Amino acid sequence: MQTIPTVDLQEFWSGDADKQKAFVTQLGAAFEDVGFVAVKGHGIPEDLIGQLYENVKTFFSLPTDVKVGAEVPGLAGQRGYTSFGKEHAKQSDAPDLKEFFQFGQTVEDDDPIKSEYPDNVQVEGVDDFNPTMLKAYRAFEKAGGALLEAIAIHLGLPNDYFSDKTQNGNSILRAIHYPPITEEPENAIRAEQHEDINLITLLVGASAEGLQLLNKQNEWLPITANPGEIVVNVGDMLQRLTNNKLRSTTHRVVNPPRELWHTSRYSIPFFLHPRSEMKLDCLESCIGEEAPLAYEPTTAGEYLDERLREIGLKK
């Protein structure tokens, strides 16, 4: 049984005003009530997703010393490889049971923001790794941009409100490997409960079950989507901007049953971030008697820096 609502992005792209209006209403209700939604018709080609996962599995199967060669000290894991056990949830000191690789923005025009971004790490030994990551990155940007346009309309903002704020934004495509569990974990699960930092997260095709959300009744429910759908959730930046109108829902990745400890889990989320100068000051339209101001003003860059320190990636 699916535990999150489903929407069809093709309805928003259809050009039919009634279908677009219905899509905006459904998406807005899902993000206010659940914070998660399954999206079909997202336009990310299945063969691209398949190639992406094949490349990721090949990379993580490389010897540790080869993978460590793609780890860049001083970048807080924002580009390249981050080895097992370095990241933890902000409320926990126990490291998550994962390793990951991050691919960031590639500025292809003369935007001066290029100076803010480190180069992506070139992976050797995996055919077409970087070109495939870039193709996937652009496909996620397109789908994410449409979803943000719908969110803007839902909030009563101009439909292009997010466009200039996310053009050449600081988004991250993260490939995660949860290795087989070889001994009884002391006090950690594959990914401890947390909320995402960014505006929205788009997750395509995790290779095994384990993702759960915490609902309003304080119950952990499995997050499931049908084949071909992506899972999209609100991040803390969007929750701050909307003064808690849209929910950044707590979620986690639990360990599999003991009989499946020998298996790996792979997951590839796209964390859609704005440009660092975007103000996250709460929208005036989201503040009122029943919703007093909940957050101090900050920028996306300042908030990201704060959170990277909280989760152990930055000193």
pLDDT digits (tens, 9 = 90+) for 248-268: 988 887 776 677 777 788 989
Q: Are 241 and 162 in contact (CB under 8 A)?
A: no
Average pLDDT of the segment spanning 216-222: 87
Give the DSSP letter of residue 259.
G
Q: For 43-50, which contacts have Cβ atoms below 8 Å and span 24 or more sequence positions?
A: 43/9, 43/13, 43/139, 43/142, 43/143, 44/136, 44/139, 44/140, 44/143, 44/204, 44/230, 45/139, 46/228, 48/132, 48/135, 48/136, 48/139, 49/136, 49/204, 49/205
Average pLDDT of the segment spanning 103-129: 94
The one-letter amino acid at 16? D
Query: In angstroms, what is the C-alpha Rg of the chain?
Result: 19
Residue 190: is its pLDDT beyond 60?
Answer: no
For residue range 273-293, list pLDDT tens digits in order. 999 999 999 999 999 999 999
- When pLDDT is cut at 50, 70 and 90, the band that residue 207 belongs to is very low
Give the 3-state secondary structure of residue 209: coil
Question: Please, what is the Cα angle at 160 between 15 and 155, to 5 degrees?
Answer: 90
pLDDT of residue 216: 85
Higher-pLDDT residue of 310 and 43 is: 43
Residue 88: is its pLDDT beyond 60?
Answer: no
Residue 7: is its pLDDT beyond 80?
Answer: yes
* pLDDT > 70: percent of the chain: 89
pLDDT of residue 90: 54
Strand partners, 220: 214
Average pLDDT of the segment spanning 17-40: 96
Residue 171: alpha-carbon gap to chain centroid: 9
pTM of the model: 0.91
Query: Would you state the CATH architecture of domain 44-310?
Result: Sandwich (2.60)
User: Can you say whether the dihedral through the CA atoms of 246, 250, 253, 258 is positive or negative?
Assistant: negative
Segments making up each domain of the chain, as ranges: 44-310
**H helix intervals, 168-266:** 236-241
